[in-house]
Chain A
Amino acid sequence: MQRFDFATGDVQALVERLGRLPDAPMAMPKQRLERPVAGLAGLVARLIGRPRGVAGDARRSGP
């Protein structure tokens, strides 16, 4: 266990150092859950300015 000093009052920095998570990234791509809105419903949705049925984050998926 490393030495550290509470007297500095910087417990937050200490915890960040001691508790730091392993640096081992893994991609977690967003999944597609909603069907694209087709036909008349899709047209109406586009006309009133709503995005299409695929969830927004899904288009930013990937690593």
Chain B
Amino acid sequence: MAGGRRVGPERRARLLVFAVSSAAAATGFLLFLQFGAADGLDELDVIRSFLILLSTFWLAWGAAQGLLGLTTRPAVPQNGVATIRGRTVILVPVYNEDPVTTFARIAAMDQSVRALDTGAVFDFAILSDTRNDTIAARERLWFLRLLRDRQGEGRIFYRRRDRNTGRKAGNIEDFIQRSGSAYDYALILDADSLMEGATIIEMVRRMEADPDLGLLQSLPRVINARSRFGRTMQFSASFYSPVFARGLAMMQGRTGPFWGHNALVRVRAFAASCGLPELQGRPPFGGHILSHDYVEAALLARAGWTVRLDDDLDGSFEEGPENIVDHAKRDRRWCQGNLQHARLVAAPGLKGWSRWVFVQGILAYIAPLFWVGFILASIAAQIFALPPDYFPEANWPFPAFPADETAKAIGLAVGIFGLLLLPKLLIAVDAAASGRARSFGGPVLTVMSTLTELLLSSVVAPILLMYQTRSVFQVLTGRDGGWPTNNRGDGSLNLTEAWAASGWITMTGALGLAVIYALAPGLVLWLLPVALPMILAPFVISWFSQDSRSGLMVVPSELNPAPIIGSHLEIMRAWLDDEAQAPASANAAPAGAVPLAHA
């Protein structure tokens, strides 16, 4: 199965990134220790130095990954096979989604694949875990419409499970146990995934060309964002993510990622390696594995299969949350899933990199707590600080001034902000120099968009920090977040709705600032950039959820939309027009389904 191993380049990349991150962390640690020691080293200085060490390592790890991505080029894709022999099924798990939007995506993808006339089998399977009976009734009716429009009987399937055991992973597993032998490859999508037929076919060709390849992940770009928050995320995903993904691809080698969707799996490899057990104990740490994708990637690698991210593949899309609250809800689920991986870090037989991926996922949620801890420790340090002793030696007439270490503190702050900002700024400079900026509206617009994104993400960051902190505490105190339905479409929130979701952040920020003002007024100015967005959270959330009318942060999918995006919109519009003319009942047949019935 597994062929010759090419471990050299990724080992070098990992060592380089680890060395750079460790050096940055050690520098931060020592600088802060010296700064703290200026007026006498105490326990709080040591605690804060360690928190700086951990936080800086994590920031530097991300920055170094970005820089690695900037200094390398995408791997030359392998030549895929000319004729596809294998059978492919495109799996679309749905869970209380709008069937019109979702099934229109399937129609568009089917149209796109069939237009290329490969002669190969590309079936679709809609795997419904929908719990809402009204939505399920609509799913059935729109499935008939989909069948009619695409002449899809015998190649577009639909089934709804009675019980959604194991959630999405259980849904896929149920399909494989029922129908896996009928297919060689399965393209796993999310309900909001959209992929060009050419991309799907190219992925199958690449998998056929490499018999060791167990999973091929594409890099989905966020599309169709309308709100200020959505477009900020969309720009970030389109502009920065490919560079960071390239850095990641350099480090991971054969132990690549699986992000749960827009990825092709070899069915027999997946079936043999990825049956997920239920973890003993109750949620949030026990029960079904929530973030199954990371675990499945690790299990495929454990079994000797290659898991690869091909970041050169275009034509792979998804949609994102349109407001901060929906983002936080999704993040709550991811937080629980990632922290649950703490149970699996020591799972037998995993590759070292897979274990590190689990640790990274955990750090992604724990690291913000280091900053919260640092802020709290700094407030405590101010409160308990002793006044400087200018005459430490008795009977000595000359004062001894403490060493001025302000320059070191400023240097440290600049370094930390540098780690946050520098990779993004360098990506903008690289895009302007390489011509990549053209697809983002040209160099000037790209640089302005980058600066705008930096500003907007700085405003949002403290609010996300609070949501993330709450999520971590909820998980650690044993509260299961369940499996909330994703909100899609228009996500605009008025002030009342925003207050309901973030009033606690406002109160925390206001109370925190008042306490700091009373106890350590010297810190107020320093903490305003964190406290102000918290206090204004409802306004920030509501403002970010409104439609963006700015010409900034344009992305290639807006300037030059991929054909599949246009097809999807066209089909959806036609269907919605038909629905508007049909009787307004959940059980009414969509226009178009009835002619099928009586044709």
A-to-B contact residues, CB < 8 Å: 1-6, 11-12, 14-16, 18-35, 50-51, 53, 55-58, 61
Contact = CB atoms under 8 A, between A and B. Distances in A.
Interface stretch (B107-115, B516-524, B589-597): B589-597
Given A25-B181, A28-B173, 14 more contacts: A1-B596, A1-B599, A3-B599, A6-B597, A6-B598, A11-B140, A15-B158, A19-B126, A21-B175, A25-B179, A28-B180, A33-B276, A34-B277, A56-B278
B153 A26 contact: no
A12 B128 CA distance: 13
B41 interface: no
Given A18-B147, A21-B175, A35-B347, A30 B276 contact: yes
A6 B594 CA distance: 7
Nearest to B273: A31
A2 B153 contact: yes
Nearest to A62: B275
Interface string B240-283: 00000000000000000000000000011001111111111100
A19 B278 contact: no
A16 B159 CA distance: 7
A31 B299 contact: yes
Nearest to A59: B277
B135 to A, nearest CB: 14
B595 to A, nearest CB: 10
6 contacts: A18-B158, A21-B125, A26-B180, A27-B271, A29-B275, A35-B347
Contacts of A29: 272, 275
A47 B312 CA distance: 54
Contacts of B153: 1-2, 18
B461 interface: no
Contacts of A12: 140
Nearest to A55: B277
Contacts of B596: 1
Contacts of A3: 597-599
A31 B277 contact: yes
Given A6-B594, A19-B126, A34-B347, A61 B275 contact: yes
A7 to B, nearest CB: 8
Contacts of A15: 140, 143-144, 158
B6 interface: no
Contact of B181 (A6, A16, A19, A26): A26
B346 to A, nearest CB: 6
Contacts of A25: 177-181
Interface in B144-175: 144, 147-148, 151, 153, 156-159, 173, 175
A1 B597 CA distance: 9
Contact of B278 (A18, A35, A53, A57): A57
A57 B347 CA distance: 15
A25 B280 CA distance: 27
A32 B597 contact: no
B202 to A, nearest CB: 25
Given A14-B144, A19-B126, A35-B348, A26 B277 contact: no
Contacts of A21: 125, 157, 159, 175, 178-179
Contacts of B594: 6
B36 to A, nearest CB: 39
A24 B181 contact: yes
Contact of B177 (A18, A28, A33): A28
Nearest to A58: B277
Contact of B271 (A16, A22, A26): A26
Nearest to B286: A55
Contacts of B598: 3, 5-6
